[in-house]
A and B are shown apart, each in its own frame.
Chain A
Amino acid sequence: MSPQDPPVVSVRDLAKHYPLRSWWGGKGSVFRAVEGVSFDIRPGETLGLVGESGSGKSTIGRAVTMLNPPTSGTIAFEGTDLATLSAGAMRRMRARMQTVFQDPYAALNPRMSAGDYVAEAFVLHRREMRGPERREAVAALFQRVGLDPRFMGRYPHQFSGGQRQRICIARAIALKPSFIVADEPIAALDVSIQAQVVNLLQDLQDEMGLSYLFISHDLRMVRYLCHRVAVLWRGRIVEMAEADVLYADPRHPYTRRLLAAVPLPDPAAERARLAARDIGRHDQPPDGPLTEVAPGHWVAMPRIEAA
């Protein structure tokens, strides 16, 4: 990863609006789930997307992969504007961009064996592959994600949560994509399994040069895994910076509140944190546009007072 590489994903002014219907069914106002979101993800980079529930994290993830196309804004993936693609071309493009979902049990078809589930990637995008070749490729993927290939014939309910997420990851990397949206991939897992899955994602990144959009509300995991972090609040990015910078020097009041909400493992420090945190400040002035306060550190400055 180097800053001069062209970005894998380039999102500009992304917005997703949902129409609100009034009680008599007529056109009401719109709910602006996401508004004015722009970011780039470079090859081999992990961009963390953090924010509270309902802040629009998953909406962005689903918009970037066109699973739920945005209302406006452009998404350029490897230089191609995704909005210009036909349905068929978009399906072919999906070989290059994959998603790992939050709940690995819900994301697996209960009536499809784990092997068939992973093999589906080849069935769809490597039509020339023959059966035995495909089975071998799937077995290799199982091995790669730390699953015993003997379990290829097993069904989702016969696996644990961590194993299921490994199956999903195996399918996501099967076609050697350049970009993966990881939508809270560890939120549904036991804490003891979370680190394993995160490490697996990291190993795969080093190995394959993957770029991730890592959506999470686990701030410590984001700091550990992500190169850059974007903080989302009420559908807008309020701060974006290198992970170290953001955690060391949060500028936006919401970022500060978010970071202050992370519990500390030391009881004394935790008591100090609870005493010092500023919960009540929801009356802050409206945000202006993102301003670069330091190289690579963007903050939505309050419209009235200067920070």
Chain B
Amino acid sequence: MSTGTPIAETTALAAPAGSPALLQEPGTLSAFWRRLRARPSAVAGLVIVGLLILMAVFAPWIAPYDPTATDWGNVRGAPSLAHPFGGDEVGRDVLARIIYGARASLGAGLVSVALAVSLGLPLGLLAGYAGGWIDGAISRLTDALLAIPFLILAIALAAFLGPSLVNAMIAIGLSATSTFIRLTRAQVRAVAAEEFVEAARALGNPPWRIAIRHILPNIVPAILVQATLTIAAAIIAEASLSFLGLGQQPPEPSWGAMLNTAKNFMDQAPWMAIWPGLSIFLAVLAFNLFGDGLRDALDPRQRT
């Protein structure tokens, strides 16, 4: 028995040369990247998401025209070299509007999900860890909200708040909150039953510290996956609200609003519908692919 020296098997774990040894993260993040890179569909999703975000951020530099400028020579104009995606019913360049429309769609997806997480995570943590009547109250509220279909709730809230892109984001965010409460609560309850939580209690951790330091880090992966997948749903919801006139207001472009106008000109100018439709499809697909890949890569059972 040698308590003073490391036992033999530790030598196999020798730290890589040159890395500062004390209290440093040992490549859990790089292991995660490795697992994510092993999934081509996830990488494709990530690349498309990245390109769309770049497109939205740098829209003024990329777009060939002002997205709200009308050109009477380009009314319902077919795709051409000057206007690769064609023109809309008042002669605005469809490509420019698609590029600018990414701001509304991605912005709505990110902002509404950020809102849903920032409300749902604390409430779910509270319900899952506090238990008792607090859990009962939050859970019944969640059940009531989940009984209403996501999109119907979002439409009702948006109609109540009044038509604007910001209100649409709030409506979508509030509608998605119940999902995050329920997911967080379930995850918290699963993690709280683990022995390391009892070990944390045995060491004298106060309840709030157990929730923040021991439970929260272990549920972040599940929340992250759900958030990514919910962004896809939120993009569809924003497009739907804008299609109904409850989201982005004209003349500012949004993929959903573009589809709404395009439905009147389907036979004369199909490109007015095809490009926004394809954009929504691509953005939603990309977020879903990335979310699925994220879920696989973050699965702790696949830790190496």
Contacts and interface: CB of A to CB of B under 8 A. Distances in A.
Interface in B184-199: 194-196, 198-199
Given A95-B204, A168-B199, A171-B203, A150 B218 contact: no
A152 B206 CA distance: 24
Interface in A149-177: 149-155, 157-160, 162-163, 168, 171
Main SS class of interface, A:
helix
Contact of B205 (A101, A107, A120, A158): A120
Contact of B10 (A106, A139, A147, A168): A147
A107 B3 contact: no
Contact of B25 (A113, A139, A171): A113
Given A110-B300, A146-B4, A196-B1, A153 B204 contact: no
Contact of B26 (A101, A139, A155): A155
A99 B21 contact: no
B294 to A, nearest CB: 16
B51 to A, nearest CB: 32
Interface in B262-288: none
A120 B203 contact: yes
Contacts of B24: 153
A144 B7 CA distance: 12
Interface in A80-137: 88, 91-95, 98-99, 101, 103, 106-113, 115-116, 119-121, 124-125, 135
A67 B202 contact: yes
Contacts of A110: 196, 218, 300
Contact of B204 (A91, A111, A143, A162): A91
A158 B218 contact: no
A154 B26 contact: yes
A148 interface: yes
A134 to B, nearest CB: 9
Contacts of A196: 1-3, 7
B203 A115 contact: no
Q: How large is the interface on A (under 10, 10 to 19, 20 to 34, 35 or more residues)?
A: 35 or more
A159 B111 CA distance: 40
Given A146-B3, A146-B7, A106 B195 contact: yes
A162 B13 CA distance: 14
Contacts of A124: 203-205, 209
A109 B200 contact: yes
A153 B22 CA distance: 6
A65 B199 CA distance: 11
B132 interface: no
B23 A199 contact: no
A111 B218 contact: yes
Given A98-B203, A124-B203, A153-B22, A107 B13 contact: no
Interface in A206-255: none
Interface of A: 65, 67, 88, 91-95, 98-99, 101, 103, 106-113, 115-116, 119-121, 124-125, 135, 139, 143-155, 157-160, 162-163, 168, 171, 195-196, 199-200, 203
21 contacts: A65-B202, A94-B202, A94-B204, A98-B202, A99-B202, A101-B199, A103-B195, A109-B214, A113-B25, A115-B22, A146-B3, A146-B5, A146-B6, A152-B21, A152-B22, A153-B15, A153-B21, A153-B23, A153-B26, A196-B1, A196-B2
Given A99-B199, A144-B3, A200-B1, 15 more contacts: A91-B206, A101-B199, A107-B198, A110-B218, A110-B300, A113-B23, A113-B25, A116-B23, A124-B204, A124-B205, A146-B2, A149-B22, A150-B14, A150-B21, A163-B10
